[in-house]
Amino acid sequence: MLTLNGVTIEDTFAEAFPITGTRLIVTAERIEWARTAGTVATGYAASVIGCDVEAGIEKELLPDDTPDGRPGVALLYFAFSRDALQKSLINRVAQCILTCPTTACFSGLVGDPGKNIKIGGALRFFGDGWQISKRLNGLRYWRIPTMDGEFLCQDAFGTVKGVAGGNFLVMGRTQLETLDATMAAVDAIRKLPNVILPFPGGIVRAGSKVGSQYKALKASTNDAYCPTLRGQVATKLPDGANAVYEVVIDGLDLPSVEKAMAVGVKAACRPGVLGITAGNYGGTLGPYHLKLHAGLAN
């Protein structure tokens, strides 16, 4: 066991798995509209257990950091395959970004051209024959007429093989103390590049385990960490713990996820927290075993 600020951190690992990821850069005339497009386009994207993708806003961008010199947001998306990612993004960009006032959409990754996904190249048909193709610096863009001018979208978006499922669980004395500590972890992680926290507000109250007594379900409530089931199941809660919140991390590469876990765990070690652990299934879920103690000594 390792203790940090009086909080016991279990010697265990988070079990993560490979996933295909991409970054979208969405710009607008005003940051408010870029935020709106980013928020809507990353909605209903908490877990691939029940959603088409896992997604979130990575960060906000200043005009100097965007392709067209306007304020924007960077969005990260993850799915099990490029085909699934492309299908989801065509729908999400079409419904949530193309329709949002003044926006444009660009690829935020340069990867293997053979692993690109077509976004603008699919959305161009909405132009009904009035769309225009432009090539700048070797990249193709599509200009689609809209009622406020035009929607500019890059033809192809780069992808990488990322990591999903980095996680840790914060176990605390009371609901509010545990939530405050977990929020501190979320705030710290959100300052880092290349990662997102796909669940609402970055926090999971309904952690899951693999499998269920109901055959139709792939996952079910993580009963070992449910305080109301103490005494009825083989609990993993420390004495006095009455609330548990989980932080799940997806990233474009393994080092980014590992760093986010370490930064988050450190930030969560606050008064009222009785222990921190991580979710794993004995190595059966994914090949990446992210040790909870790694990086905490720095």
What are the angstrom distances between the C-alpha of 64 and each of 25, 30, 77, 92? Answer: 13, 14, 23, 26
pLDDT, tens digit (0-9, with 9 covering 90-100), for 31-65: 999 999 999 999 999 999 899 999 999 999 999 99
The structure's pTM equals 0.96
Q: Cβ distance 15 to 280 under 8 Å? A: yes
pLDDT band at 89 (very low <50, low <70, confident <90, very high): very high
Q: What is the CATH number of domain 19-160?
A: 3.30.70.520
Structure tokens at 218: 């792939």
Residue 230's SS3 state is strand
pLDDT recorded at residue 62: 98
Q: What percent of the chain has pLDDT over 70?
A: 99
Q: Cβ distance 109 to 160 under 8 Å? A: yes
Asked whether the predicted pLDDT for residue 156 surpasses 90, the reply is: yes
pLDDT recorded at residue 293: 94
**Domain residue ranges of the chain, discontinuous segments joined by +:** 2-15+163-291, 19-160
Structure tokens at 70: 């306007």
CATH architecture type of domain 2-15+163-291: 2-Layer Sandwich (3.30)
Integer Rg of the chain from CA = 21
Are the folds of 2-15+163-291 and 19-160 the same?
yes
Residue that the structure tokens 């009963």 belong to? 223
pLDDT recorded at residue 282: 77
